[in-house]
Structure 1
Amino acid sequence: MDSALKVNHGVQQPPEINPRAREIIKKKPGKSLAVPVYLEGIRKGDVSILAQSITLIESTLEEDRKKARELV
């Protein structure tokens, strides 16, 4: 005897992050400002520049460390 009930397969879970977005993020170069630009931004109260300066100071990259020493 055949049943009227039918079990459908579930749907596949989507990826956690859009694969195209991941590629765009990987290709996007990080912008590094000159030390005087950081100083001017901090003096003017630019919170975004301040945050970038903090990130620069916390960085372990040698190029960033040189700029951080100059900035501090």
Structure 2
Amino acid sequence: MKKRLKVLFSILILVFVITGCDRTPKPEPSEPKPSDTTVDPGKSPVIHGATDKTIFRGETFVPLEGITATD
């Protein structure tokens, strides 16, 4: 019984070692693509609809319900 456990454990370790030694090269990170969106660096985004909410026990709460942002 002990011999079977040793063999099973050895095979399991061997499988982990073989699968953990992946020799495929990692792809080089590519340059980010330029965006067509223009951003005014002096302007901050405006968030609309963010007000205080009262929530009672048992009610469902959707945190972003009615919230919009413009940039």
TM-score normalised by L of structure 2: 0.24
Q: Which of 1 and 2 has greater Rg?
A: 2
- Larger relative contact order, structure 1 or 2 (CA cutoff 8 Å, min sep 6): 2
TM-score normalised by L of structure 1: 0.24
Could you say which structure has the higher helix fraction? 1
